[in-house]
Amino acid sequence: MRYKLLGRSGLRVSEFSLGTMTFGEDWGWGATEAESRRIFDAYLEAGGNFVDTAINYTNGTSEKYTGKLIAPIRDQIVLATKYTLSTRPGDPNASGNHRKNLMQSLHQSLRQLNTDYIDLYWVHIYDFMTPIEEIVRALDDAVRSGKILYVGISDTPAWIISRAVTLAELRGWTAFTALQIEYSLVERTVERELLPMARSLDLAVTPWGILGSGMLSGKYANRDAPGRIKDRTEVGKLKERNMRIAAVVGQVAKEIGKTPSQVAINWVRQQPGVIIPILGARTLDQLKDNLGALQFSLTPEHLKKLSDASAIERGFPHDFAASPFINNIVYSGRFEEIDNHREK
């Protein structure tokens, strides 16, 4: 495994992150402690050093298991966790982005992880109530206290993140270094605003859901098989468009002798910018299959085939600005003759 700089920072992280939302059986479908250890050990053996969890994953069990696993090599691991989601149902201040929840969540995570600092602390999702100034300043205070080293933000609109980074730069506060988003061949809407913003602001991107809730793993290849759809929670991803995309993934996988999961992972991994996919596995075999993506790269032809099959409309103003009439009057009919070194 190779390493990448975490966005605008100098921190070196492995090119895949290990997601540990599957560590623990509290939600009825995760890995046992013993299987979690096997998954973690295989990730380390492959050269991984970047582990991602959250305060409420499997009701806190994920952080507890993760803390035990990293304890002997704590300083070698880049540990990331998140705050925002509810830790005490019914208590309005036990959730959200505000300073009180940040501090009480941070202290709880430190206890559950059995560590005295966190390398990367994520805002899990914007609550649309807390002023962005409060969030950025509270995170900066936590950095200055030594309890966290870097900050990131997840599942939040681009305009909010851009404003937060600008405020941090203007006021000398700690700015976000990373962005976490859902991104896969079946979920590409982040290409409209979030990914261009990340490249412009030099934010590392750690995509989750890279297999589209299993849609791109090949397990739905025969959708008429008895019992293939286990419950209604799976129905949302089983749209005709997504089935067509999954079929193209399967075709490419067959052509190159790889698994559909590996093809889908590498399509994400090979997109522009600092892309560090999160691998989430419930079994050791799943992780080993995912890590097999390290052994090859997709050709430009296969990347184009997959991108064409999953293409989305960029929407306004992108499609409007790219229309021939507007393009002509913006660039005086000379667009093709202008070399833009900032184009990505």
For 278-296, write each residue's pLDDT tens digit: 999 999 999 999 999 999 9
For the stretch 231-275, pLDDT in tens is 444 555 568 899 999 999 999 999 999 999 999 999 999 999 999
Cα separation of the two ends of the chain: 25
Range(s) of the domain holding residue 202: 3-308
Task: Return the active site residues.
Answer: 57
Q: How many CB atoms lie within 10 A of CB 146?
A: 9
Give the total number of structural domains in the chain.
2
* 122 beta partners: 82, 152
Return the minimum-mean-pLDDT range out of 219-233, 257-271, 319-333.
219-233
Q: Are residues 162 and 262 in the same domain?
A: yes
325 to each of 314, 317, 333, 339, 343, how far by Cα in Å?
17, 14, 9, 20, 21
pLDDT digits (tens, 9 = 90+) for 141-151: 999 999 999 99
Lowest mean pLDDT of 44-53, 157-166, 319-328, name the range.
319-328
- Residue 117 and residue 147 in contact, taking contact as beta carbons nearer than 8 Å: yes
Are 213 and 330 contained in the same domain?
A: no
Distance of alpha carbon 126 from alpha carbon 129, whole angstroms:
8
Contact 328, 337 (CB under 8 A): no
Residues 273 and 340 reside in one and the same domain: no
Q: Name the pTM for this structure.
A: 0.93
66 and 191 inside one domain:
yes
Judgement on whether residues 233 and 328 belong to the same structural domain of the protein: no
Q: What CATH number does the domain containing 66 carry?
A: 3.20.20.100
Domain identity same for 257 and 340: no
Based on the domain organization, do 116 and 37 belong to the same domain?
yes
Helix ranges (H only) for 23-131 are 33-45, 61-70, 99-113
Q: How far apart are CA 120 and CA 276, in angstroms?
A: 14
